[in-house]
Amino acid sequence: MNASVQLIRPSRHGDTRGWFTETYNRDTFAALGIECSFVQDNHSLSAPQWTLRGLHWQTPPHGQDKLVRCIRGRIYDVAVDVRKDSPTYGEWVGAELSAKNGHQLFIPIGFAHGFLTLEPDCEVVYKCSNLYSPANDGGIRWDSAGIDWPMPTGTALELSGKDKLLPTLAEFDSPFPYDGRPLAPLA
């Protein structure tokens, strides 16, 4: 069975030199129900504040579980349930990920993923459980799932041309099956 969306808070061990943290350990993650194998790492830089990337996924059979963290700056990271027949279809959860807090968000297959940069020059890295497949690349519009993005009213967002053309959630016919786990609030 797939793991649910989870906010991961790795421990940091610090001293006068700084800190050390373990961002991924197969056995630790398996104890949380996250048993996917990661095969690709991605790294993005979003220079302007209020850059919004998403909401994206890869369709079966090339779906991707993702483990996302922000290594410079601050982002608001979200996951939207897009699993057909899920009782929480269209619902979302979000969390602030930052270089300072070190939190990570695990997003399983069947969820749309996106993030908003809360300051300039944000770098985001994430692990994926499947390789990138352009033919399976998909998404929905950032403003079609009722997400309460933390930005001032009237903010001019930086969006890619591709993201501006994505269909709305209402127009989307999901190929993702429901796995029996409704979306739950982040602990």
Domains identified in the chain and CATH numbers: 6-171 (2.60.120.10)
pLDDT reported for residue 1: 45
pLDDT tens string for the chain (187 positions)?
Answer: 467 999 999 999 999 999 999 999 999 999 999 999 999 999 999 999 999 999 999 999 999 999 999 999 999 999 999 999 999 999 999 999 999 999 999 999 999 999 999 999 999 999 999 999 999 999 999 999 999 999 999 999 999 999 999 999 999 999 999 999 999 999 8
Residue 38 DSSP symbol:
-
Q: Is 6 exposed, middle or buried (0-12, 13-18, 19+ CB in 10 A)?
A: buried
Terminal-to-terminal C-alpha distance of the chain:
20
Tokens of 144: 């079609």
pLDDT reported for residue 187: 81
What pTM, to 2 d.p., does this model score? Answer: 0.95
- β-pairing, 52-58 vs 111-117, is antiparallel
Distances (CA, A) of 34 to 7, 46, 109, 176: 12, 28, 12, 18
Tokens of 56: 């994206």
pLDDT averaged over the chain? 96
pLDDT reported for residue 2: 64
- Catalytically active residues are 56, 126
